[in-house]
A = this chain, B = another copy of it.
Amino acid sequence: MNLENLFSPKSIAIVGASEEEGKVGNVIAKNILNLGYLGEIFLVNPKYDRLFERECYKNLNEVEKSVDLAIISIPAKFVAQEIEKNADKIKNYVIISAGFSETGEEGKEREEAIKKIADEKELNILGPNCLGFIIPGLKLNASFAGGMPKEGNIAFVSQSGALAVGIMDIAEKEDIRFSNIISIGNKMDIDESKILEYLADDEKTKVIGMYLEGIRDGKKFIAASQKVSRKKPIVILKAGKTEKSQKAISSHTGALAGSDDITSAVFEKCGIIRAENLGEFFDVLNLVSQTEIPPNGNVAIITNAGGPGVLATDAFLERSLRLGEIDEKTKNSFRKFLPAESSLENPIDMLGDAREDRYDKTLKMLGKDKNIGSIISVLTPQDQTPVAKIARKIISFKKKTEKNISTVFIGGKRVEKSVKKLRESDIPNFKYPDQAVTALNSYYKWSRERNETAKNVEQIDIERKNKASEIIAKVKSSGRKVLYFEEAGKVMKMYGIEPADFWEYGEDLNLESVKFPVVIKVDSDKVLHKTDKKGLILGVKGKEELKNGAEEMKNNFGGERIIIQPMLERQTELILGIKKDAIFGPVVVFGLGGIYTEVLRRVDFLVPPLNIEEVKKNIEKSKIKFLFSETRGQKAYDIDEMAKIILGISQFALENEKVNEFDINPLLVYNNGEKAVAVDIKIII
């Protein structure tokens, strides 16, 4: 539903408005009344006839005129009833009140009651348990945080109201400007996905910054963020990395935090910029807010101080961005005005006595160098440095260039005024060099990858889905929870994965057909870790040995099924599987297998649905990418085969939702043309 009327209301009712100092309803009323909002305002409180020298309504339904938005700040237990009474007329609500799902069972029930009304009557509800929202462009502060932030192009969405207050205070001091500040609280109705879709179409918003502790609906979030991030950058600070902080969250807002690795994989898939901490979060938002997309990945650094230049260079380690090569022509032009001791290589060191003319000319020459996409101007305020004059030169250069321009003026009072001037001319300044590089790298990476997010994903194959379901249903009806290797192999074949050959051990087995050496395995749902329990005999060389081993195993495991597989050459072992994430559903896991799988943790995550190009691109940047290129003493493995297998597993996950656990360990892969083989397949339903 359209959130236009909620976030740009022509009329607002404040339910629970109050003149009593210290009450939330008092702060909200004053914010809406006094900060310049031009729409109609209705105050509602049964206790008063007049409030703030205005009419006060006893009940919301007494307001005869149309109300675009009602802000509710009354005790939790009265909220549902208040909304229900007005739901036919008023469609948009902000519930400020706390006392809902964040507090336990009773609160949860209250929240569900409201949710039901909202669904029935098609209401938009922000909150409950939120700070409200602020739209500086409308001079509308519909929150209980004081003040009016400056108008700008950053939309800031926060799952923590208290954090939003701190950030607004920082923003005031550092001149950070907003299109929207929205506190989403318990996200009962309007969640991060709905907000994203709303902000995608909000013309005043250039970049969306979100502080999230949880994600309500993984699939909706993926769909929304993929769509939105093609249009504008989404920067998310996602809290809850450690187990301890996940605990802190659930006692805090009742959000269910997913595993952090998977969150990262989802963000990567959706083109979301993940900020590692609050500092990075602000840095990226500021940079995107004030500058345009870098036209290419080459950066030039100019500096009047060698040390900071070196520090900036260090910050390029493992980035998509590079320090660009300076064109010979450009270097020659530098020689005409830079002292002989200058460094003409990137970072370009114009020396400590550089004045505005050196900055100016160097910038102009770089401006003509097409190889360079971004320029970071570094400065330390030495006694001979005319800081203000240099800032002016950078500002006038910025007006004439397409390149991405930012500065790192390292200092305090000596640079303060100039930094402000730079900012006013849309040149972001960073306190330290690494911050500039990190932020620029995020912006650039987003611009490169945003159109890569898959549009045409592999579809569900109903026929195959039904066939697989049939096999699984049969297993279930036989009382088992684990598929036999034979059954699992059949399913795998449907998804393009070849199981190892096998023979079932028993009276029917023709020993002449067995090619030695072989492996004997127990094939039972009661023995999941075969090596731990002697359910596995390797290197069986002949018939007698086979018979004895198999019989002994049969005895040991009380007549369970025994299978025999050929001993296969182990060149490279991979592990593949599905992890069911509470938020995002099934996630494909793939990586290096073998004895040290768990220690080395060389695994990556891919979130279905996928298509073959997306899978290939992800293999190419995965932790096993080295397998797929020729290196010393190693022929490349077949990336197309690998991509098909991973896509097969992704489809298997989507088409078999009842499967609880799944892995192939090991999948043997070869670089000599032989096909990959799944030696062990665990499907638990």
CA distance A160 to B163 in the complex (A): 38
* Partner-binding segment picked from A56-64, A110-118, A302-310, A504-512: A302-310
* B contact residues around A309 at 8 Å (CB): 248, 252
Are A169 and B317 in contact, with the CB atoms below 8 A? no
Taking a contact as CB atoms under 8 Å apart, the answer to whether B410 and A163 are in contact is: yes
A88 at the interface (CB under 8 A from B): no
Q: Which residue of B lies closest to A247 (CB)?
A: B345
* Segment of A375-383, A544-552, A640-648 engaged in the interface with chain B: A375-383
Q: Which residues of B contact A599 (CB under 8 A)?
A: 626, 631
Nearest-CB residue, chain B, relative to A161: B352
In the complex, chain B residues whose CB is within 8 Å of the CB of A456: none
A34 within 8 A of B: no
Q: B174, B343, B345, B596: which contacts A626 (Cβ < 8 A)?
A: B596
Which one of B278, B310, B316, B383 contacts A433 once the chains associate, using CB atoms below 8 Å?
Answer: B278
Neighbouring B residues of A213 by C-beta, 8 Å: 307, 310
Of A220-228, A235-243, A357-365, A444-452, the segment with at least 4 beta carbons within 8 Å of chain B is A235-243
Please give me the residue from chain B that is nearest to A382 by CB atom: B165
Q: Which of A228-267 contact B (CB under 8 A)?
A: 237, 239-242, 244-245, 247-249, 251-253
Of listed A304, A413, A414, A631, residue having the most chain B CB within 10 A: A414
Measured between alpha carbons, how far is A332 from B249 in the docked complex, in Å?
22
Q: Which residue of B lies closest to A171 (CB)?
A: B412
Kindly report which residue of chain B lies nearest to residue A432, judged by CB atoms: B278
Complex Cα distance, B626 from A349, in Å, reads: 46
Known: A173-B412, A279-B279, A323-B244. A306 touches B252 (CB 8 A): yes
Bound complex: CA A161 to CA B382 (Å):
9
0 or 1 for each of A168-185: is its CB under 8 Å from B? (1 = yes): 011111100000000000
Q: Point out the residues of chain B lying under 8 angstroms from A211, CB to CB.
A: 307
Residues of B within 8 A of A277 (CB): 311, 315, 432, 434
Q: Mark A401-419, 1 if CB is under 8 A from B, else 0.
A: 0000000001111111000
What's the least CB distance linking A353 to chain B, in Å?
9
B345 touches A251 (CB 8 A): yes
Task: Give how many copies assemble into the complex.
Answer: 2
Nearest to A176 among chain B residues (CB) is: B412
Q: For A345, what are the chain B residues with a Cβ–Cβ distance below 8 Å? A: 247-248, 251
Chain A residue total in the interface (Cβ 8 A):
91
Report the bound CA distance from A166 to B429 in whole Å. Answer: 14
The answer to whether B384 touches A242, judged by C-beta atoms less than 8 angstroms apart, is no
A162 touches B249 (CB 8 A): no
Q: Tell yes or no: A145 within 8 A of B by CB.
A: yes
Measured CB to CB, the closest approach of chain B to A536, in angstroms, equals 11
**Are the CB atoms of B306 and A248 closer together than 8 Å?**
yes
- Residue among B170, B244, B304 making CB contact with A313, cutoff 8 Å: B244
A455 to B240, CA, bound (A): 42
Complex partner residue of A595 from B163, B306, B435, B634, CB under 8 angstroms = B634
Docked complex Cα distance between A173 and B431 (Å): 13
A314–B146 touching, CB < 8 Å: no
**Chain B: CB-nearest residue to A282:** B432
Question: A532's contact among B240, B308, B314, B633, by CB below 8 Å, is which?
Answer: B633
Taking a contact as CB atoms under 8 Å apart, the answer to whether B595 and A314 are in contact is no
Q: Mark A86-105, 1 if CB is under 8 A from B, else 0.
A: 00000000000000001100
Instruction: Given the known inter-chain contacts A277-B432, A277-B434, A308-B163, please indicate yes or no for A414 contacting B343, CB distance below 8 A.
Output: no
Cβ contacts under 8 Å, A432 to chain B:
277-279
Bound-state Cα–Cα, A5 to B173, Å: 45
**A278-B169 contact given A160-B305, A626-B599, CB 8 Å threshold:** no
A253-B306 in contact given A383-B146, A410-B167, A413-B173 (Cβ < 8 Å): yes
Cross-chain contact B245 with A314 (CB below 8 angstroms): yes
Instruction: Give the docked Cα–Cα distance between A642 and B315 (Å).
Output: 36
Q: At the interface, yes or no: A558 with Cβ under 8 Å from chain B?
A: no
Name the one of B239, B352, B383, B634 contacting A310, with C-beta atoms under 8 angstroms.
Answer: B239
**Which 7 A-B residue pairings sit nearest by Cβ, starting from the closest?**
A160-B307, A173-B412, A162-B305, A245-B313, A166-B410, A166-B380, A163-B307
Q: Given A102-B341, A162-B352, A166-B305, list of 19 further CB < 8 A pairs?
A: A145-B383, A162-B380, A163-B305, A169-B411, A169-B413, A170-B411, A240-B310, A242-B313, A242-B316, A242-B317, A244-B313, A245-B310, A248-B347, A249-B310, A252-B343, A277-B311, A277-B315, A278-B432, A279-B434
15 A-B pairs within 8 Å (CB atoms) are namely A161-B352, A162-B308, A163-B305, A163-B308, A169-B410, A169-B412, A172-B413, A239-B307, A240-B314, A252-B343, A252-B349, A277-B434, A531-B633, A532-B633, A596-B626
Report which A residues bind B (CB closer than 8 A). Answer: 22, 27, 102-103, 144-146, 158-163, 165-167, 169-174, 211, 213, 237, 239-242, 244-245, 247-249, 251-253, 277-279, 304-311, 313-317, 323, 341, 343, 345-347, 349, 352, 380-384, 410-416, 431-435, 531-532, 595-596, 598-600, 602, 626, 631-634
